[in-house]
Chain A
Amino acid sequence: GENVEQHPSTLSVQEGDSAVIKCTYSDSASNYFPWYKQELGKGPQLIIDIRSNVGEKKDQRIAVTLNKTAKHFSLHITETQPEDSAVYFCAASYNNNDMRFGAGTRLTVKP
């Protein structure tokens, strides 16, 4: 089955700096790669996703890149703000079934 590894486990940046979180996956059949943000006491919230037929996707300050050959994908957050502080999860699946999540990255943005 799919195995997703996520790094780093914790990340601290200064407000305004960029943050990068990286994930690798094992199953070459995976074709859907979402990123979720989870705040304390809440469920994961989808922030951006990418399908295997594209290599990059951007939504304002957030971007995701996918390298299918190397089986890794990354989340890039630019101009970080204190409200970006949360736990971020990457995930991989084939068509959203049996979605496998990484262990999470706790991002802290210092004012």
Chain B
Amino acid sequence: ETGVTQSPTHLIKTRGQQVTLRCSSQSGHNTVSWYQQALGQGPQFIFQYYREEENGRGNFPPRFSGLQFPNYSSELNVNALELDDSALYLCASSFYRGNSYNSPLHFGNGTRLTVT
């Protein structure tokens, strides 16, 4: 069973730039969620994708966007980077059966983004 993998592991960008983070779901999973974890804090929900569509969104501005592909992998895109976007970005996958059941979230090890 292949776990959740994220790339890259570390990234340094300049304020105003754009960034794309990638995630491969655990095998058998069809739903992907993205979280932002600032240093010393708990993960904050950004959004979730199911059937290639956004299926819930946290309190993040539109410059945070995502995609889910037919193979259930996903991308997180952040435009116009700000210094406060510096954080660990976590991807989690799960299996959603469409009848309100959703299996536990399994997280990857994250991408550490530094904005200077």
**Contact pick for B102, options A36, A41, A96, A101, CB 8 Å:** A96
Taking residues whose C-beta sits less than 8 angstroms from the other chain, chain A's interface range is 20 to 34
Chain B residues lying within 8 Å of A45, measured Cβ to Cβ, are 107
When C-beta atoms are compared, the residue in chain B nearest to A9 turns out to be: B40
Taking residues whose C-beta sits less than 8 angstroms from the other chain, chain B's interface range is 20 to 34
The reply to whether B105 and A97 form a contact with Cβ atoms under 8 Å apart is no
Can you add 4 more A-B contacts, CB < 8 Å, to A97-B48, A103-B41?
A: A42-B109, A96-B102, A96-B104, A96-B105
The reply to whether B102 and A97 form a contact with Cβ atoms under 8 Å apart is yes
Distance in angstroms between the alpha carbons of A45 and B41 in the assembled complex: 16
The reply to whether B102 and A103 form a contact with Cβ atoms under 8 Å apart is no
The reply to whether A103 and B104 form a contact with Cβ atoms under 8 Å apart is no
When C-beta atoms are compared, the residue in chain A nearest to B110 turns out to be: A43
The reply to whether A95 and B104 form a contact with Cβ atoms under 8 Å apart is no
When C-beta atoms are compared, the residue in chain A nearest to B95 turns out to be: A96
The reply to whether A104 and B109 form a contact with Cβ atoms under 8 Å apart is no
Shortest beta-carbon distance from A36 to chain B in Å: 8
Q: Is B100 an interface residue, CB under 8 A from the partner?
A: yes
Distance in angstroms between the alpha carbons of A101 and B48 in the assembled complex: 15
A34-B104, A34-B105, A96-B102 given; A103·B56 CB < 8 A:
no
The reply to whether A95 and B42 form a contact with Cβ atoms under 8 Å apart is no
The reply to whether B108 and A99 form a contact with Cβ atoms under 8 Å apart is no
A43-B109, A44-B90 given; A101·B104 CB < 8 A:
no
**Contact pick for B105, options A41, A46, A102, A103, CB 8 Å:** A46
Shortest beta-carbon distance from B59 to chain A in Å: 8
Chain A residues lying within 8 Å of B106, measured Cβ to Cβ, are 46
Chain B residues lying within 8 Å of A4, measured Cβ to Cβ, are 42
**Contact pick for B42, options A34, A89, A96, A98, CB 8 Å:** A89
23 contacts between A and B (CB under 8 A): A34-B104, A36-B107, A41-B109, A43-B108, A43-B109, A45-B107, A46-B106, A89-B42, A89-B43, A91-B42, A95-B102, A96-B96, A96-B103, A96-B104, A97-B48, A97-B55, A98-B45, A98-B48, A98-B56, A101-B42, A101-B43, A101-B44, A103-B42
